[in-house]
Chains A and B, each alone.
Chain A
């Protein structure tokens, strides 16, 4: 196995991914990621020097339009989906200590 993922890396990726993994899940994530990265490393066989990274298959660039509001007031409907709400707003736990 060529790729070795350290405990620190898994911790760090967990922070980026905003996931809280159990010890068991972390061990599994490490081994899964190592397997995938070993496999992904086959891409290194390809010489891609001078090749532009292609993010979009068609030559489409920025697409602009006027920012016109088309939908009406959906305040109630949207708040109905909120796990917690208070006084017509989304409620979240304390953000500043």
Chain B
């Protein structure tokens, strides 16, 4: 039985049926990380001892009937900006190189309650700031489909780990596309839920009004089951929303008859890769044949989303990251005299260039004299963007969009020009500004063999529409794009450029 080929829900079923033990599942994941981690670098920390200890406890819990859900006994990886008690949590930054949290993030606690086994913490862009996972202090993660390319970011480690079959599923966080874009680049499924659906307690904050935690997995069914497990109302997060419609797996139906799907024409203009455009139109056609009503429309305001986003996200980041000062936890500079000098040296040595860039910009737009012109202007723009989506959702159930204008770029190609990197977020950031749910699903492969992702966006609290539409697409295409393995060489040699996908399943 090939444990690594199974989705989380499939594996959970086998474990509950006693065909596979939790220990075997965990062992399979660690065997795979041993095989590929030196090539992919998805993880900052692997927690072997703790995972095997936990595996025994969960196995007992399953046998005693305490864990009965989809995810009982299934291994999971967690992005390294989610606090895990007693386990190193770095945010892929030097400033948290030795930080051991004293509590566990609510989303991870919810997974633990469902019987999950955390095997490690995944690599990310430092403090989730970046689109390539290259700003990590612990080295870049590579795209399992082609090791010369980035996995996307900032949840690049989580997406690469799932794509490389190191773990059946992972948690990520999404502030401006950090789940959806790397999911697209790595050919996996990732969803950013409606703001407030998953508690942010224990998520090390970047842009608090935009941050949401979400699942990354190999199919739509897994994502629905995982989101069902992690969604909860939490009094420890004052932006947490009390929802009674979190039975997301009930929406896994192959039926889009009458569903109104809008395609924003202003998303399909110059700058979008032709192969991505074709793949998305093909997917739309596929849903149309199944009875969906597909129409083109103008969303409007598209070019204002990125500038508004970078003002708001940087402003919030400059405030959120002021807590890292070398006093209570993390790195402290070696040579200092007085307090302020200690703060400044600690932060300057502890943060990487991209984080400093955003803290500087955020401090500037919040400073007196510029606050109205930049920060309030961005918040007003956000109100207009929200209204544009409200108008669209009065006519459509779902909006189809690319996840990113290009497929995964080569390593090193993005960092030299930050603005260019930011422009790659054009299809994702407005979803965070408006608090909407968005899912990214694989819909094809370029001629060079890199995955293409399609984003589906719904109105607030309408995740079920996303799951129904995405599940339908998956059924219609017989999971063509999600059931293949990337071709990772076992001995570390590079994959020749242009080589197509590897081992086929079944």
A74/B434 in contact, CB under 8 A: no
Cβ contact of B98, chosen from A33, A62, A81, A94, cutoff 8 A = A81
CA distance A35 to B103 in the complex (A): 40
Q: Output the least CB separation between B355 and chain A (Å).
A: 10
B380/A25 in contact, CB under 8 A: no
Chain A 36-77 per-residue mask, 1 if CB under 8 angstroms from chain B, else 0: 110111111110100111111110101101000001001001
Please give me the 9 A-B residue pairs with the lowest Cβ-Cβ distance, nearest first.
Answer: A53-B379, A57-B435, A83-B332, A81-B329, A48-B380, A54-B383, A63-B238, A20-B344, A16-B363
B327/A92 in contact, CB under 8 A: yes
- Looking at B261-269, B306-314, B477-485, the stretch in contact with chain A turns out to be B306-314
B331/A46 in contact, CB under 8 A: no
How many chain B residues touch the partner (CB < 8 A)?
69
For chain A, give the interface size range: 35 or more
The residue among A36, A77, A93 with the most chain B CB atoms within 10 A of its own CB is A36
CA distance A82 to B235 in the complex (A): 28
- What are the residues of chain B within 8 A of A13 when measuring CB–CB? 360, 363-364, 367
Cβ contact of B357, chosen from A32, A41, A44, cutoff 8 A = A32
Q: Is A17 an interface position by the 8 A CB rule? A: yes
- What are the residues of chain B within 8 A of A36 when measuring CB–CB? 310, 361, 418-419
Q: Output the least CB separation between B107 and chain A (Å).
A: 18
A39/B359 in contact, CB under 8 A: no
14 A-B contacts (beta carbon < 8 Å): A16-B366, A32-B357, A35-B419, A40-B378, A46-B301, A46-B304, A46-B384, A53-B376, A53-B382, A58-B196, A81-B330, A82-B329, A90-B327, A93-B339
A39/B419 in contact, CB under 8 A: yes
Number of A-B contacts (CB under 8 A): 167
B331/A83 in contact, CB under 8 A: yes
Chain B 323-345 per-residue mask, 1 if CB under 8 angstroms from chain A, else 0: 00111111110001111111111
A58/B241 in contact, CB under 8 A: yes
Check A54/B102 contact, CB under 8 A, given A13-B367, A29-B357, A43-B304.
no
Q: Output the least CB separation between B17 and chain A (Å).
A: 37
For window 250-272 of B, CB contacts with A under 8 Å fall at none
